[in-house]
């Protein structure tokens, strides 16, 4: 796909770079296999992941480790330095991806909402995004729905309000209103 000859440790270096670029959202085995030209051979990708994780965990001068969250692998800071990173919580700037912003908008306009409802609206899996938004304390679990399977209900936090500098959700822009004919046209167009 990208190049045919890899040097001995080049895939390990590229794996680290890919995980760094992916940030909090992480990457799946399938995606990593594609970028590392391993033809979906997950056992080879797992060997590379293990090598990177071992290298990071045993290097005392490195503050990063590699973790798995759901189906996603990502770089994160080492737990033993957690207290030293708390100073960054004072920083007001949080950079959010387009996917995170879309998910927040769904929760803001449909709260409380379950993950399956969010995924139904977005049309994609939201495990990593929900995890990221919870870790940033922008959303919180507020209980369980009465729907089958009792999925978790999510709502916004006060930190969401602080981050977006709003006092209440009433300050959010109104969603556009469609008449029934326009909704049917949109639905038909999206299903073609």
What is the number of structural domains in the chain?
Answer: 2
> Quick one: pLDDT at residue 138?
92
In a domain, 51, yes or no: yes
> Quick one: pLDDT at residue 93?
57
- CATH classification of the domain holding 50: 1.10.10.10
In a domain, 92, yes or no: no
pTM for the model: 0.47
In a domain, 192, yes or no: no
Query: Minimal CA–CA distance to 168: which of 129, 117, 111?
Result: 111
Question: Is 50 in the same domain as 117?
Answer: no
What is the signed CA dihedral for 43, 44, 47, 51, rounded to 10 degrees?
-160
pLDDT in tens, 98-130: 899 999 999 999 999 999 999 999 999 988 899
Lowest mean pLDDT among 7-21, 45-59, 71-85, 137-151: 71-85
Question: Is 70 in the same domain as 118?
Answer: no
Domain range enclosing 170: 98-176
At residue 97, φ and ψ (nearest 5 deg) are -75, 165
Question: Is 67 in the same domain as 114?
Answer: no
Average pLDDT over residues 9-31: 88
Task: Give the dihedral sign, CA 71/73/76/79.
Answer: positive
Question: Is 105 in the same domain as 168?
Answer: yes
In a domain, 148, yes or no: yes
In a domain, 93, yes or no: no
């Amino acid at each position: 796909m990208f190049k045919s000859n890899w040097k001995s440790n080049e895939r390990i270096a590229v794996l680290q770079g890919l995980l760094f670029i992916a940030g909090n959202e992480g990457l799946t085995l399938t995606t990593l296999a594609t970028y590392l030209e391993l033809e979906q051979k997950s056992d080879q990708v797992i060997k590379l992941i293990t090598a990177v994780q071992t290298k990071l965990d045993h290097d005392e001068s490195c503050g990063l480790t590699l973790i798995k969250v759901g189906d996603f692998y990502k770089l994160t800071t080492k737990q033993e330095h957690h207290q030293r990173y708390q100073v960054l919580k004072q920083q007001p700037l949080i950079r959010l991806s387009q996917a995170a912003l879309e998910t927040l908008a769904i929760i803001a306009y449909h709260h409380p909402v379950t993950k399956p409802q969010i995924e139904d609206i977005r049309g994609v899996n939201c495990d990593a995004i929900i995890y990221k938004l919870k870790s940033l304390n922008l959303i919180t679990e507020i209980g369980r729905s009465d729907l089958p399977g009792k999925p978790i209900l999510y709502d916004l936090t006060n930190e969401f309000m602080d981050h977006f500098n709003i006092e209440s959700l009433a300050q959010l822009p109104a969603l556009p209103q469609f008449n029934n004919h326009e909704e049917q046209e949109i639905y038909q167009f999206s299903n073609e």
